[in-house]
Chain A
């Protein structure tokens, strides 16, 4: 069977599985729709959280990014995993004890204020839409490359599947589907990684092969070889990177804190039965995430050596384009690899200086890996199914946040407090449907700024939710004035910095112009500091939170009695 038949088969089977799960796990009440009835096993929840978290970007783009960034790629690895330590230790157990449905729920109740709730709802919706647009694009790219349908058909197909299980099953359907999606995506990631690790280093464990000697018998370590190649070709050494230390520090911090503040991640910890389960569940989530995240940098290094050797040849003289392997011409068709024969010798050459003739999109590293390693057609199809699973699982989680924010936080808790549970559930489904339509539109007509606004999602989560929740739990005296002023100034600061450098004056987006050398990607860290400082200052001026709020906070701090807090 050829690649396309395999892809149709595997993607089709996985879709059938997701839909089957959706029918089995239909939600009957708002509680099932919002938090899956609060009865998910912590290991299953950990797996679902991992699938929810690992998006098309983690699956398709991350290894490629690291491959091109070398050491600097560590910001994503540490940033997107370290946040789970904060989640497990500082947020998840307490939010689970609080026992409501959403992040704006917590902010609104803890700070006894509709204004605080509204600020939180707007942030949650904005963050989720920013994120979901990127996911839809990911689905489109995978479909167009592997199924050779156009991006519009690909996006619509993906949307139909998500619509089916998210609207029907709510959190319950999404959780069980995500468990299945995790299995598909991790299998699809590991199989080519193991093959390519054996190919390059002879070691079947990618994490170990990463630090092993090459399989060519030369006795050279893989990373030594990469550093050597980089020096020869005019790149910075693979193990040192180009970003300044302060920028690496701030970006890593912003990603960590942002991760811990993302509403679609936090909400997952409302779905387990007990506080102790919320703690365990965060641990399992990180185990499942780390399996992919520790493999990614290894894949990045293997792919880089492989790619440079395929293009430049073992003698570094360049390989004749006419005799290039078929994956190069396959990807040239998609425009993701381009070759411009500058010195007209008919040979390709890839380097970091003016000898370079290649333009290689970083996204292809993962997708082309099985082809580069000459793996069978079913492995290539598996990668397609995995990419789709990663994109769908994350979009579904985000759509749920959007729909609950609207039906629960905005309508039930704000505008229409008298609607019944059935009506609220109906509004939740309608909101999910509308959310999907908007997401599909954004996927088909991606605004040019999607890539630029990803920093936004993390910056906003870091500078708004994270400090407000931390203070809400660890500082009893924090009042609504302090929290609202803190959130607004944190968001205001972060937003203006990002908008200035990304939209108003993108030409000035250079290290010399950045404050303290911090790029817009890392500014969320400073925004978080601003939030904390303003919140403290305003709280000192306006007095302490009322006594019943202090009691509420006290009750969050120990697990006993978590069951009682579940309902409304």
Chain B
């Protein structure tokens, strides 16, 4: 056991899952939400020469995906240090 207490281990996992769920909700919203389920109402909104729903399906969702992973990397790094379970550098 690398955690100081069992309590720490539980909290670490809980915080990890909370972050995971938040990011996956965004992941779902931009692709399945904006790009597929809500594509028609969003298409009435113009974004430069794009219809917004179409833009999310063919461009926007991918940019958000990249951002999500880097947010996750940064947040997990902080979390690992908070509970002192990071790897040696």
**Does B62 have its Cβ within 8 Å of any Cβ on chain A?**
yes
B50 partner, pick from A77, A223, A276, beta carbons under 8 A: A223
A82-B66 in contact given A207-B59, A223-B50 (Cβ < 8 Å) = no
| Segment of A3-11, A526-534, A551-559 in the binding face | A551-559
| Segment of A84-92, A186-194, A448-456 in the binding face | A84-92
The CA of A290 and the CA of B36, in the complex, are separated in Å by 19
Is the Cβ of A84 less than 8 Å from the Cβ of B50?
no
A223 partner, pick from B9, B13, B54, beta carbons under 8 A: B54
The CA of A93 and the CA of B75, in the complex, are separated in Å by 14
Closest to A83 in B: B65
Within 8 A of A (CB), among B23-81: 23-24, 27, 31-32, 35-37, 39, 43, 47-51, 54-55, 57-59, 61-63, 65-66, 68-70, 72-73, 76-77, 80
Closest to B13 in A: A557
Residues of B close to A287: CB separation below 8 A: 66
B24 partner, pick from A89, A207, A557, beta carbons under 8 A: A89
A223-B49 in contact given A73-B58, A276-B77 (Cβ < 8 Å) = yes
The CA of A280 and the CA of B71, in the complex, are separated in Å by 10
Within 8 A of B (CB), among A244-296: 245, 248-249, 252-253, 274-276, 279-280, 282-283, 286-287, 290, 293-294
Is the Cβ of A211 less than 8 Å from the Cβ of B31?
no
Task: Please report whether the interface of chain B is mostly helix, strand, loop or mixed according to DSSP.
Answer: helix
The CA of A129 and the CA of B82, in the complex, are separated in Å by 45
**Does A239 have its Cβ within 8 Å of any Cβ on chain B?**
yes
Is the Cβ of B2 less than 8 Å from the Cβ of A210?
no
The CA of A15 and the CA of B58, in the complex, are separated in Å by 34
Is the Cβ of B76 less than 8 Å from the Cβ of A279?
yes
Is the Cβ of A224 less than 8 Å from the Cβ of B49?
yes
**Does A212 have its Cβ within 8 Å of any Cβ on chain B?**
yes
* Binary contact track A198-223/B, C-beta < 8 Å → 1, others 0: 00000000010011110000000111
Residues of A close to B13: CB separation below 8 A: 557
Residues of A close to B70: CB separation below 8 A: 283
Residues of B close to A562: CB separation below 8 A: 87
A560 partner, pick from B2, B43, B54, B65, beta carbons under 8 A: B2
Is the Cβ of A78 less than 8 Å from the Cβ of B37?
no
**Does A492 have its Cβ within 8 Å of any Cβ on chain B?**
no
Is the Cβ of B32 less than 8 Å from the Cβ of A249?
yes
The CA of A224 and the CA of B47, in the complex, are separated in Å by 12
Least CB distance, B6 to chain A, in whole angstroms: 10
Least CB distance, A277 to chain B, in whole angstroms: 9
Residues of A close to B20: CB separation below 8 A: 89-90
A283 partner, pick from B16, B24, B57, B73, beta carbons under 8 A: B73
A290-B57 in contact given A212-B49, A559-B86 (Cβ < 8 Å) = no
Is the Cβ of B35 less than 8 Å from the Cβ of A78?
yes
Residues of A close to B27: CB separation below 8 A: 82, 85
Residues of B close to A417: CB separation below 8 A: none
Residues of A close to B9: CB separation below 8 A: 554, 558
Least CB distance, B80 to chain A, in whole angstroms: 6
The CA of A35 and the CA of B20, in the complex, are separated in Å by 27
The CA of A245 and the CA of B35, in the complex, are separated in Å by 10
Least CB distance, A295 to chain B, in whole angstroms: 10
Within 8 A of B (CB), among A309-358: none
A559-B62 in contact given A71-B54, A84-B69, A88-B69 (Cβ < 8 Å) = no
A290-B87 in contact given A82-B31, A558-B12 (Cβ < 8 Å) = no
Is the Cβ of A274 less than 8 Å from the Cβ of B87?
yes
Residues of A close to B50: CB separation below 8 A: 210-211, 223
Least CB distance, B2 to chain A, in whole angstroms: 4
Within 8 A of B (CB), among A541-568: 554, 557-563
Residues of B close to A89: CB separation below 8 A: 20, 23-24, 68-69, 72
**Does A74 have its Cβ within 8 Å of any Cβ on chain B?**
yes
The CA of A557 and the CA of B9, in the complex, are separated in Å by 9
Is the Cβ of A286 less than 8 Å from the Cβ of B49?
no
Least CB distance, B63 to chain A, in whole angstroms: 7
Residues of B close to A239: CB separation below 8 A: 43, 51, 54
Is the Cβ of B65 less than 8 Å from the Cβ of A74?
no
Is the Cβ of A245 less than 8 Å from the Cβ of B36?
yes
Interface residues of B (CB under 8 A from A): 2-3, 9, 12-13, 16, 20, 23-24, 27, 31-32, 35-37, 39, 43, 47-51, 54-55, 57-59, 61-63, 65-66, 68-70, 72-73, 76-77, 80, 83-88
Q: 18 A-B residue contacts at CB 8 Å?
A: A73-B58, A78-B35, A84-B65, A88-B69, A210-B50, A222-B49, A224-B49, A239-B54, A248-B36, A252-B36, A274-B87, A279-B76, A280-B73, A283-B69, A283-B72, A294-B63, A297-B59, A559-B87
Given contacts A81-B65, A85-B23, A212-B48, 13 further A-B contacts (CB under 8 A): A71-B54, A77-B61, A78-B35, A210-B59, A223-B51, A245-B36, A245-B39, A252-B32, A275-B87, A276-B80, A290-B66, A559-B85, A560-B84
